[in-house]
């Protein structure tokens, strides 16, 4: 078994997941890059391997239970534990533009598809990997959420989110935050730390070209939470050094 820290990043073939994988690997961590599309994942892994980084492709669709089971088995067989899990895979449905309140119009199919990726897949993957994370001397779980999951800010007329209410996406991220709180409470007497991360508004396929942050900046919060010291926080919601309201 390797002494090097082992990380799994889901949705790692592009955007924030790709940059998170790069930054973790630059810290000397072996990164398993989860990608739904094997061809795109292989291309992403190849780019980082050319930079001399220790990364490996893991074909992973978080909505497929057989994928999750296979990945858990592979990690246990090859490494015996998992030190870092970054739940980055996510989607925004094309039925709901970012700057629209879709509460009245979102279809049940779109709502279910969004939750399947952003919430149910995240929970199932985490549950499957938790026995391996418990074998780490200092396990770290980072759930990529969004400030749009904050009920406190959505209910505050002064918070500036009045025109930003894609319901399925926002609700799925609120659910992710609740999972973070519950899982952190479950693990409070262990060395495992569980936190939610708001990357910021980042120029990705999801964030769009108008976003002010690049992926290098957007990955900083998840990388910081993935590499917390033993006295770091757990059960929190963060953007860079700022604690966000639930």
Backbone angles phi, psi at 37, to 5 degrees: -95, 110
Rounded CA separation 145/151 (Å) = 13
Bridge partners (DSSP) of residue 243 are: 238
CB 168 within 8 A of CB 94: no
CB 177 within 8 A of CB 87: no
CB 48 within 8 A of CB 63: no
Rounded CA separation 110/121 (Å) = 15
99, two tokens: 């700057």
DSSP state of 148: G
Which is the catalytic residue, given 79, 119, 167, 169? 169
Q: Is 169 a catalytic residue?
A: yes
Alpha-helical regions (H) of 89-120? 108-115
- Can you give 61-97 as a three-state secondary structure string? CCCCHHHHHHHHHHHHHHCCCCCEEEECCCCCCCCCC
Residues with a known catalytic role: 169
């Amino acid at each position: 078994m390797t002494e090097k820290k082992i990380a799994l990043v889901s949705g790692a073939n592009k955007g924030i997941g790709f940059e998170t994988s790069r930054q973790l690997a630059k810290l000397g961590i072996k990164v398993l890059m989860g990608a739904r599309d094997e061809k795109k994942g292989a291309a992403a892994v190849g780019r980082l391997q050319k930079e001399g980084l220790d990364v490996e492709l893991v074909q992973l669709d978080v909505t497929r239970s057989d994928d999750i089971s296979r990945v858990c088995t592979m990690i246990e067989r090859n490494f015996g534990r998992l030190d870092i899990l970054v739940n980055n895979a996510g989607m925004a449905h094309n039925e709901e533009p970012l700057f629209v309140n879709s509460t009245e119009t979102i279809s049940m199919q779109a709502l279910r598809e969004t939750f399947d990726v952003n919430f149910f897949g995240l929970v199932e993957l985490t549950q499957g990997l938790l026995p391996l994370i418990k074998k780490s001397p200092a396990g770290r779980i980072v759930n990529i959420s969004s400030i749009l999951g904050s009920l406190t800010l959505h209910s505050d007329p002064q918070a500036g989110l009045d025109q930003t209410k894609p319901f399925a996406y926002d609700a799925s991220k609120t659910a992710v935050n609740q999972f973070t709180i519950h899982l952190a409470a479950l693990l409070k007497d262990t060395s495992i730390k569980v936190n939610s991360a708001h990357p910021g508004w980042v120029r990705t396929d999801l964030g769009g070209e108008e976003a002010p942050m690049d992926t290098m900046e957007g990955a900083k919060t998840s990388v910081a939470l993935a590499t917390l010291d033993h006295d770091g926080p757990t059960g929190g919601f963060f953007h860079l050094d700022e604690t966000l309201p639930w």
